[in-house]
Each structure stands twice: as C-alpha cells, then as structure tokens.
Amino acid sequence: MTSRRALLQTALGGIVFGGTSVISELARAGLPQGTTDSERLEALPGKRPLLKRAYRPPNFESPPSAFGTILTPNDQFFVRWHLMNIPEIDAADWRLTVDGEAATHELSFSLDQLRRDFEPAEVVAVCQCSGNRRGLSDPHVPGVQWGYGAMGNARWRGARLRDVLAKAGLAKDALEIAFDGADGPPLETTPDFQKSIPVWKAMDENTLIAYEMNGEPLPHWNGHPARIVVPGWTATYWMKKVTSIRVLNKPLQNFWMTTAYRIPKGKFPQVDRFVSQESEATTPITEMVVNSLITHPADGQRVPAAAMVVVTGLAWDGGYGIRHVEVSVDEGRSWQTAELGTNLGRYSFRPWQYAFRPRAKGRIVVMARATNAQGTTQVDELIFNGPGYHNNVVQRIVVEAA
C-alpha cells in the first residue's frame, strides 16, 4: 500500500495544466470572480482534464463535455474529498470489517469474498455532491465553489448492503449503519470523515457496496477498491474507499452528522427523512431535488437563424423519476414539452431534447425546467440556505441567432 503522503505528492505533482480559454461559459457563469480567475482545466493521474476547484483536498469538477452522454465517463467523473490523506489501496490488501453494538457477528471480507459470496447487483444512479452549484448562490456562501459539474451518472455494480448486513445479523434495536473510509485527516484535531444512514435506507435493494463503475474497477479518485452507493441521496453518504461498516443502536454523533450537511427543516420538499438525526431546527440533507442541465447549445454560442436549433440536456431527481421537461425560448413567457430520451432507471440521468427555429436574428434566452413523478418542479428563485445546498433554479442560457 502506498503511503498517503507519497500518493498525495505524486498526484499533485502529476497534474497536467491547461489553459482557461477552453473552459465553457456553462461551467463558470454566475461564479464568483475569484473562482473564475483561478479556474483551470487540470488532470489528476488517470483522469482527463477536469475543472480544478481545490487542491488540498483534491476537488475537481466534471467539464461540460462529460455530460454529452447518459453515463459519465470514468475519467471525466468529478472528484470530491473531505480529507487530504488519500491512500492508494491494492485490491488484494483491502479488507472490509462489519461490526457494531447492534451487529450479531463481527465479520471481515476481502474484495474477492465480496465478489464471490454475494450476488452482484447493478443500478444506474446519479452521484451528486450536496454542494453542486453552490458557486451560483446569491449571496455567495463559503465552501467549494462548485459550478454545474459536481455530479456524474454511472452504472454501479457490487454487493447489496442488505445482504452483507444479513450475514452479520442485525439486532432488534439496530438504528443506523455507519461507514468509515481509508482516507484520513492531516491533523489529529481534524474530524475523521464518517457518515451513517438509517437502517431502512441501508436495507433498500439498490444500496450497494460497489466495486465496479461503468463496467470497470472503481478509479482511485472515485473510491477504489469499493465504495457505498446510496441511489437518490446526495453523495455525502457515498463513502469512498470504505473499510468499516458499523451497526449502531443510537445516532452517530460527530461533526459530519450533527453540524455539517444539514438543511433547515421544512424548507425543501424532502420525503426521505433521516429522523434519528433531526433536531428542532435542522435535518440532514438526504434526497436530491429535481433538476436539469442544458448540455447544448452552450451559453453564448452562435446558432443559425435559418435552421432548426436542437436544445439537449439531462434531468434527474431523488429517484421518483422524471415526468416531463419543458423548454422556453422566449425568457419564460411560454413553455413547450421536450422529448424524453432513454430511460435507464429512476435514479439515472434522463436525456431530453427540444428543436425550434429562431423567429428572427438576435439574442435568444433558452430555459429548461424538469418536473418529477411527484409533481415537483424546479424553482424560479433560489431557496437560500447557508451551506448552499439544493440549488435547482431553472437554468438560463443566451444564444445568438445569426
């Protein structure tokens, strides 16, 4: 196993630098000036160039080109870490322990055992950082100033978490399932990144201990050799390089649960509640809100005035499914229904497209909004909150018909 310090030095030393001129307006529109001034396309080892948001720990955003297909390529998938000591783990050396006060047995699995002893399962699901689009908050808030690309969609394959828990045995008072990963804090005073989910979510058939991503072993930066996949919920629960699973009979108490990743209670249309972690004023962020992204044309692009313009994009939510997507080409005065594309499941990106012919030359404002199967639609104005979570404001781009 390579040391954490050595790997970090190797990774940062191996970054490939690129110019800011190739960064699309889609990635930086609305971001703070300081963020856009320092924004560069840079490549971590094993990755194509991504949008650098931070080095220590490494936080890199997928560029617009990553969203031209339903499945986000592994080498363009965004990178998000909370702690800077990130070991490179040999799959043959990896072990996963399962224990806890509400577990009947203490178990340990190698990767080969996880593959061999449990029926494999697959799910196509969006992995999205809770703070995706935080950089668009107005007024701006502290934290990684993500644009539109702190997310990706992949086909995840692994063992069902519930099958592993069944082998360990759950006591009647089991309340939460806690995870820890191999990454570590640089200082003893820095809280280790540990998270938990309620037992009922852990027992969902789609919650996985994944070891493959889009048909390949997980990349190092995305959690190799194994990570937790919690479809529909934001990525804070998707523990990378998972090494420990604990069955708890009381709520997990640490900085990452009781202070971070919380939203004002009742402010968002949240169905999946994490009741054991709620306080009087706040609740843990859980499911993703309904959202969409225009992938073509790009903001500021020139389009032919005498030809059909095809607007394409992606829509997603917390797993209820996309009912429809609407597009406006007149600054929101009227809306038309877009055509939905391939359906890879309720947790996946859903592609869509809409074609129109410009009525005249000049500036055209294109907008898109998604509605999910519950009837919830993207918002026109930001639901402001201090951490900058759940930004699903209807997107606007401007093209020039010429």
pLDDT tens digits for 55-77? 989 999 999 999 999 999 999 99
Residue 18 maps to a domain = no
Band of pLDDT at residue 257, cut at 50, 70 and 90: very high
Structurally, the chain folds into a number of domains equal to 2
DSSP tag of 283: E
237 and 117 part of one domain = yes
Residue 14 maps to a domain = no
Query: What's the pLDDT at 32?
Result: 61
Burial 2-17 (b: 16+ CB within 10 A, else e): eebeebbeebeeebee
Nearest to 16 by CA among 51, 53, 41: 41
Residue 137 maps to a domain = no
250 and 107 part of one domain = yes
- 37 pLDDT more than 60: no
Query: What's the pLDDT at 188?
Result: 85
Residue type, 338: A
Which CATH number covers residue 258?
A: 3.90.420.10
Query: What's the pLDDT at 31?
Result: 63
Residue 74 maps to a domain = no
In Å, what is the CA distance from 215 to each residue of 74, 111, 117, 123, 220? Answer: 10, 16, 19, 12, 15
278 and 309 part of one domain = no
Band of pLDDT at residue 368, cut at 50, 70 and 90: very high
Residue 47 maps to a domain = no
Band of pLDDT at residue 11, cut at 50, 70 and 90: very low
- 24 pLDDT more than 90: no
Domain boundary (253, 268, 284) is at: 284
Average pLDDT rounded to a whole number, residues 34-55: 83
Three-point CA angle 351, 353, 355, nearest 5°: 175
Range in 27-41, 253-267, 287-301 with the lowest mean pLDDT = 27-41
106 and 239 part of one domain = yes
183 and 277 part of one domain = yes
**235 CB contacts (<8 Å, ≥6 apart)?**
80, 127, 128, 129, 130
Residue 43 maps to a domain = no
pLDDT in tens, 268-283: 988 999 999 999 999 9
d(CA 262, CA 275): 12
Q: How many helices (H) and strands (E) does the chain have?
A: 7, 26
Locate 13 and state its tokens: 């030393």
pLDDT in tens, 90-100: 999 999 999 99
- 27 pLDDT more than 50: no
242 and 312 part of one domain = no
394 and 326 part of one domain = yes
392 and 246 part of one domain = no
223 and 363 part of one domain = no
265 and 296 part of one domain = no
Band of pLDDT at residue 186, cut at 50, 70 and 90: confident
- 51 pLDDT more than 60: yes
DSSP tag of 63: P
Residue 45 maps to a domain = no
Range in 5-9, 32-36, 307-311 with the lowest mean pLDDT = 5-9
- 301 pLDDT more than 50: yes
Between residues 53 and 38, the one the model is more confident about: 53
Beta-bridge partners for 399: 364
In Å, what is the CA distance from 283 to each residue of 77, 259, 322, 389? Answer: 29, 10, 25, 13
Which CATH number covers residue 392?
A: 2.60.40.650
Query: What's the pLDDT at 123?
Result: 98
Mean pLDDT of the chain: 92
d(CA 240, CA 24): 29
Query: What's the pLDDT at 397?
Result: 97
Three-point CA angle 200, 113, 86, nearest 5°: 75
226 and 309 part of one domain = no
Band of pLDDT at residue 106, cut at 50, 70 and 90: very high
Nearest to 29 by CA among 129, 142, 131, 133: 133
pLDDT in tens, 223-252: 999 999 999 999 999 999 999 999 999 999
Q: Is 41 strand, coil or helix?
A: strand
Average pLDDT rounded to a whole number, residues 141-146: 95
**H/E element, 12:** helix 4-13
Average pLDDT rounded to a whole number, residues 126-148: 96
Q: Is 103 strand, coil or helix?
A: strand
- 41 pLDDT more than 70: yes
Band of pLDDT at residue 170, cut at 50, 70 and 90: very high
Domain boundary (238, 265, 284) is at: 284
Residue type, 379: V
250 and 322 part of one domain = no
Give Cα 389 distance to the centre of its chain: 12
d(CA 178, CA 41): 35
Residue 320 maps to a domain = yes
Burial 93-119 (b: 16+ CB within 10 A, else e): ebebebebebbeeebebbbeebbeebe
Domain boundary (284, 319, 351) is at: 284
Query: What's the pLDDT at 33?
Result: 54
Query: What's the pLDDT at 35?
Result: 56
Q: What's the domain range around 377?
A: 291-401
Nearest to 83 by CA among 194, 197, 165, 179: 194
Nearest to 401 by CA among 366, 363, 356, 365: 363
